[in-house]
Amino acid sequence: MFKPTSTYRIQFHKDFNFKSLNNIIPYLQKLGIDTIYASPIFEAVEGSTHGYDVVNPLRVNPEIGTEEELLEISTRLKAAKISWIQDIVPNHMAFSPKNKWLMDVLRNGSKSKYASFFDIDISNDQKLMVPFLGSDLEDAIESSALKLIKNKGEYFLNNGDSNWPLNIVSQESLAGKNDDEIIDKQLIKEIANEQFYRLCNWQETNHTINYRRFFTVNALICLNIQDQENFDIYHEYILELFKKEIFQGLRIDHIDGLYDPKGYLDRLRKAVGDEVYIVVE
């Protein structure tokens, strides 16, 4: 099994990307580094400075580079006799409009193919809380902090930089309405109330919540990674990169947040093989 002896932490973000890492390889060699330990490299919330708010684990974060660049830098690191431990985040993803799997849940409710992927409680027609308003729903509508908009032929509930999707019934009921009609506050309230989710004041989560989150961070929603199907979906790309021998080790973020940490590690070990170095937080 590969075992690192001297590691160097790499914190990827838009201002330190794959090209930046490539530039410091000679420096790492002079230091005697034999392994880099890299922050998450998968697509995260735009502008993320850390990468732990993943929105798509099946794609390299375009803010830090491309898969082609990743393959090139892997080749250079190997030539320099430097291995790569990659940080992954199986406990949670970003609660963000950029998270397409989660937006599918908001749009389709319990009928979404990802309804069981996230650790949420939408049983008995309970609506998933979306706690990102700065005030209660009615106040947000009255102040125009929450409004209806149309973007690329689809309607959304808009709050600041966030566009929250509407279900098919709402989309059909709004079809053909002009801009003057969709600013009607009563209409906005009706549309908000007929979704599979409930937009609410972020402070409401101080006393009630119906999804598991990372500690008290509303913007990080947890996953049911203990289910085999969900494990396979989330790890598809990272395992593909292992087959290409990009990485030699894994660091598992916040493993104590998982439903079954040992079960997860057993499953991961089986997936990556005996030679891969695995360390947990």
- Per-residue pLDDT tens, the chain, 281 aa: give them: 889 999 999 999 999 999 999 999 999 999 999 999 999 999 999 999 999 999 999 999 999 999 999 999 999 999 999 999 999 999 999 999 999 999 999 999 999 999 999 999 998 889 999 999 999 999 999 999 999 999 999 999 999 999 999 999 999 999 989 989 999 999 999 999 999 999 999 999 999 999 999 999 999 999 999 999 999 999 999 999 999 999 999 999 999 999 999 999 999 999 999 999 999 99
Q: Do both 120 and 217 map to the same domain?
A: yes
250: nearest Cα among 228, 276, 231:
276
Same domain, 144 and 165: yes
User: 191 is in which domain, residue-wise?
Assistant: 100-222
Residue 21 domain flag: yes
Q: For residue 104, what is the domain's CATH number?
A: 3.30.1590.10
* Contact (Cβ atoms closer than 8 angstroms) between residue 264 and residue 226: yes
Last residue of a domain, one of 196, 222, 248: 222
> CB burial class (10 A; 0-12, 13-18, 19+) of residue 186?
exposed
Q: What is the pLDDT of residue 191?
A: 98
Euclidean distance between CA atoms 146 and 139, whole angstroms:
9
> What is the count of structural domains for the chain?
2
